């Protein structure tokens, strides 16, 4: 009887051991299977991530190329726009300082330039000369041949004025109507007078041609030179040249006269007396 029980216990033990071994083996199998599945999923996810990163990098590169191309296009467009703006500004500046009819500098630019040259002359202690030019009997040209002839006469004279100026620092202006003005930096009275006389003589030798008509034209010139006389301002220099021009007109026209400035002693005395 005791041997029978022992046999039963042993059998039960082995049965439990077998069942335990089976259960543990099955759990291990599932664990291994789950691990393999997880590894496969992780590997697949890694491949997907790598593919996604490659696609993203490719997209970034493409976007970078597109962006760079667009930046280049916009930069080119901006440069073109800036160039066009610069050309417009230059054209506006040209119109602001040039007389549309004659191509000489205009009165507005004269007002700016004479002040600058006056200051430079005063600072450097160099002479500054003005020549005021007026066409003699210009009204007759307009009255007898029309304003178109008058305009062409102004253009004709402007061409001769440009030719007589040899230095870049010498500037010619259409002051108004048939009156012109020359600013001659670092030019003494003798040099200014000589230039004005040379221009006057050259004009007197040539005739203005209009519609196959040969029209004699002469000019009168007034010269005034600033040499740091006390109290003299830019307006006094022009007034002196204009006074010399009036003297030339009153003395018979077709000539050059000079007005000499003297020091102005007080503010109350606004005229430079010869």
Secondary structure string (H, E, C) spanning the chain: CHHHHHHHHHHHHHHHHHHHHHHHHHHHHHHHHHHHHHHHHHHHHHHHHHHHHHHHHHHHHHHHHHHHHHHHHHHHHHHHHHHHHHHHHHHHHHHHHECCCCCCECHHHHHHHHHHHHHHHHHHCCCEEEEEEEECCHHHHHHHHCHHHHHHHHHHHHHHHHHHCCCCCCEEEEEECCEEEEEEECCCHHHHHHHHHHHHHHHHHCEEEECCEEEECCEEEEEEEECCCCCCCHHHHHHHHHHHHHHHHHCCCCCEEEEECCCCCCCCCCCCCC
Point out the catalytic residue in the list 84, 178, 258, 265. 178
Is 178 noted as a catalytic residue in this protein?
Answer: yes
Which residues are annotated as catalytic? 178
């Amino acid at each position: 009887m005791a041997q029978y029980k022992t046999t039963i216990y042993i059998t039960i033990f082995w049965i439990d051991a077998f069942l335990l071994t089976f259960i543990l083996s099955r759990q291990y199998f599932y664990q291994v299977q789950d691990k393999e599945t997880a590894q496969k999923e992780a590997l697949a996810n890694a491949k997907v991530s790598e593919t996604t990163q490659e696609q993203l990098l490719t997209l970034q590169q493409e976007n970078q190329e597109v962006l760079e191309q667009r930046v280049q296009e916009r930069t080119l467009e901006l440069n073109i726009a800036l160039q066009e703006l610069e050309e417009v500004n230059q054209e506006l500046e040209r119109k602001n300082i040039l007389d549309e009819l004659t191509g000489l500098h205009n009165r507005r630019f004269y007002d700016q330039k004479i002040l600058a040259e006056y200051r430079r002359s005063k600072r450097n202690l160099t002479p500054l000369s003005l020549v005021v030019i007026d066409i003699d009997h210009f009204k007759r040209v307009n009255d007898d041949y029309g304003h178109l002839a008058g305009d062409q006469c102004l253009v004709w004279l402007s061409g001769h004025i440009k030719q007589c100026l040899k230095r870049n620092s010498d500037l010619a202006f259409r002051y108004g109507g048939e009156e012109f003005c020359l600013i001659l930096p670092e030019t003494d009275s003798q040099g200014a007078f000589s230039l004005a006389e040379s221009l006057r003589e050259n004009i007197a030798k040539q005739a203005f041609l209009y519609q196959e008509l040969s029209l004699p034209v002469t000019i009168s010139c007034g010269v005034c030179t600033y040499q740091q006389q006390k109290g003299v301002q830019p307006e006094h220099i022009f007034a002196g040249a204009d006074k010399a021009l009036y003297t030339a007109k009153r003395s018979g026209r077709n000539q050059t006269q000079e007005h000499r400035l003297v020091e102005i002693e007080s503010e109350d005395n606004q005229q430079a007396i010869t």
